[in-house]
Amino acid sequence: MDLHYDTLEQLLEAARVEDSTLSSLVLQQQAKEMECSPQSVFERMEHQYDVMTQAVHKGLEPGVISNSGLTGGDANRLAASISGNTHICGDLFTGALARAMAVAEINAAMGCIVAAPTAGSCGILPAAVITMQLEKGISKKDCVMSLFTASAVGMVIAKNACLSGAQGGCQAECGSAGAMAAAAIVELAGGTPDMIGHAVAIAIKNTLGLVCDPVAGLVEIPCIKRNASGVANAFVAAELALAGIKSAIPADETISAMKNVGDGMPSSLKETGEGGLAGTPTGQRIYRQLFGIDCDKE
Amino acid sequence: MNVFDIVGPVMIGPSSSHTAGAVRIGYVAGLILGRPAVKAEIHLHGSFAKTYKGHGTDKALIAGILGMQPDDERIRSSPLIAKEKGLAVTIIPDSIPGAHPNTARIILTSAEGEQITVQGSSIGGGNIVINQINGLNVEFSGQCDTLIVLHRDTSGVIGEVSQYLGELGINVSNFRLSRSAKGGIAIMTIEVDGEVEPFMNEHIMKLPNILRSIALRLH
């Protein structure tokens, strides 16, 4: 069966008709398109998963500090709250938050990450999938496969909206990553194609309108914490969908809405480091301190 | 677009345009010099000039000049590695009129005294465009093997080079010509499908009116 990434509904219909997981259809189609064996495409994705796993491990260690010196160590604080049993959300949920921040902090510290779909949102998908492996005992093979489902969602969003903060705001980065992660979680939990669709829709709905307003233009404040809220959103969306809760607005329409909202967003809220949090007095002060630049003259 | 455009690339953070793209600009500049550099003068423009410290753009460019790729864990410590290897680096926040906001102009000098100037822009997602070599306008992405041919601006030179590539069965995917003045020095940038071999470069160097040919092998 030919697979196209124009709409999510087409992909889900293919999975229904073939009675197959979305990930295995995507793997087969991608192998054909790249003119190599499904095994070699899988192995390449497994490499991405290994890099993600290493980033999680490194990011949870103490002593992580960003290249600018602004951020770091927060993933380790969360991990300490789990090991000290002072956390309130449970090991799965708080663990996911810690892992998302771990990867995002490693990114800011000039460590090795996988853009998923971007460097700014690189913690969300790894945190979702690795948490399913560690907390739910899902096999590594299935976790790697779920990245194909997540990628398919990302491709649909890229085709119909965009994945960059400069074009669409943070909804396009952390929002898209959350939708991709929600789809992966649903597949790993044994959900149906319909549930994947509703999870994607719910995830996008929850981040619609989120602006990209990095302080001093750096991928740190608020990006690292938005990776935590991004994976939280992914679990919220997946949990709702797995319980049979439906999104009134279909996924493809939420993606169109994201595009329209992004188009209507002023450029000061699209990765220019001007509006939103970047424009606050504290945001501006950090900017001046960091780069020794007088913002008023900019 | 494929799955690895979405879940990928594997890169050193924090920013695909300010870090990964910067590594690639430095890498191409190093390839164009073709031998170890002892001096690097790096001019930064726009967002590169404003945020290079936070994004590690300086470290990324130096790493690239030293031959590192965007996923190399040593990028973080590239200034130290440059020192060990005898590469003296100067970073100059600057303004380059009309340039893309994420642009670097790199002047590299080899131990033999050979000097080249390469200007490149990071245009998003880690993709780059090299837009000037030694002050002449060029345009190539550094994603496929490329021949950079400096020659006298006279008739028949382009024909000879393209005929030679045609004889080898090499398909040109992108071609651009730029010249300083009519009859002056001109530069061809030729991006090809497949690989550029060193022997091709040697052959092109022997053609009439060719001043220099550089083979960028990115595979």
CB pairs under 8 A between A and B: 134
What CATH code is carried by the domain that includes residue A100?
Answer: 1.10.4100
A158/B contact by beta carbon, under 8 A: yes
Residue A12 lies in a domain: yes
Residue A42 lies in a domain: yes
CB contact under 8 A, B13 and A117: no
- What pLDDT, on a 0 to 100 scale, did the predictor assign at position B219? 66
CB contact under 8 A, B6 and A117: yes
Nearest residue of chain A to residue B70 (CA atoms): A112
CB contact under 8 A, B16 and A180: no
Q: Which of B89, B207, B107, B201 is nearest to B157 (CA)?
A: B207
In this structure, what token pair is assigned to residue B149?
A: 């041919």
Nearest to A115 among B1, B9, B50 (CB): B9
CB A224 within 8 A of CB A132: no
Among A residues 214-253, those touching chain B with beta carbons less than 8 Å apart: 216-220
Give chain B's count of helices (H) and strands (E).
Answer: 7, 11
**Rounded CA separation A223/A201 (Å):** 22
**Is the predicted pLDDT of residue A295 greater than 70, yes or no?**
no
Percent of chain A predicted with pLDDT > 90: 93
Mutate: best of B3, B15, B19, B91, partner A, most A CBs <10 A? B3
A1/B contact by beta carbon, under 8 A: no
**Is the predicted pLDDT of residue A54 greater than 50, yes or no?**
yes
Residue A204 lies in a domain: yes
**Rounded CA separation A48/A117 (Å):** 12
- What pLDDT, on a 0 to 100 scale, did the predictor assign at position A184? 98
In this structure, what token pair is assigned to residue A32?
A: 């054909």
- Categorize the per-residue pLDDT at B180 as very low, low, confident or very high, splitting at 50, 70 and 90: confident
**Is the predicted pLDDT of residue A297 greater than 60, yes or no?**
no
Residue ranges per structural domain of chain B: 3-134, 146-216
Q: How many domains does chain A have?
A: 1
Residues 6+ apart with CB under 8 A from B17: B102, B122, B123, B124, B125, B126
Give chain A's count of helices (H) and strands (E).
Answer: 14, 1
**Is the predicted pLDDT of residue B200 greater than 80, yes or no?**
yes
**How high is the mean pLDDT of chain B?**
94
Pick from A92-106, A129-143, A184-198, A263-277: least confident = A263-277
Per-residue b or e along A94-112, where b marks 16 or more CB atoms closer than 10 Å to that residue's CB: bbbbbbbbbbbbbbbbbbb
pLDDT tens digits for B60-105?
999 999 999 999 999 999 999 999 999 999 999 999 999 998 999 9
DSSP result, A191-239: --HHHHHHHHHHHHHHHTT--B--GGG-S-TTHHHHHHHHHHHHHHHHH
What integer is the mean pLDDT of A114-141?
A: 97
Which position has the token pair 């170890």?
B36
**Is the predicted pLDDT of residue B169 greater than 50, yes or no?**
yes
Pick from A76-85, A149-158, B126-135: least confident = B126-135
A107 contact residues in B (CB cutoff 8 A): 13-14
Nearest residue of chain B to residue A30 (CA atoms): B2
In this structure, what token pair is assigned to residue A173?
A: 């980065």
CB A131 within 8 A of CB A92: yes
Domains B3-134 and B146-216 fall in the same CATH topology? no
> How far is the alpha carbon of A142 from chain B, nearest alpha carbon, in Å?
16
A151 contact residues in B (CB cutoff 8 A): 3-4, 6-7
A70 contact residues in B (CB cutoff 8 A): 54
pLDDT tens digits for A226-256?
999 999 999 999 999 999 999 999 999 999 9
A125/B contact by beta carbon, under 8 A: yes
B53 contact residues in A (CB cutoff 8 A): 67-68, 290-291
Residue A287 lies in a domain: yes
B21 contact residues in A (CB cutoff 8 A): none
CB contact under 8 A, A67 and B4: no
SS3 A166: helix
What integer is the mean pLDDT of B143-168?
A: 94
ipTM given for this complex:
0.96
pLDDT tens digits for B19-56?
999 999 999 999 999 999 999 999 999 989 988 988 99
Nearest to B10 among A70, A112, A163 (CB): A112
B76/A contact by beta carbon, under 8 A: yes
Assigned fold of B3-134: 60s Ribosomal Protein L30; Chain: A; (3.30.1330)
- What pLDDT, on a 0 to 100 scale, did the predictor assign at position A293? 61
Domain that holds residue A243: 8-152+161-297
Burial class (CB in 10 A: 0-12, 13-18, 19+), B134: middle
pLDDT tens digits for A81-94?
999 999 999 999 99
Nearest residue of chain B to residue A43 (CA atoms): B4
Given the candidates 3.40.50.920, 3.40.50.300, 3.30.70.260, 3.40.640.10, the CATH classification of the domain at B146-216 is: 3.30.70.260
- What pLDDT, on a 0 to 100 scale, did the predictor assign at position A1? 63
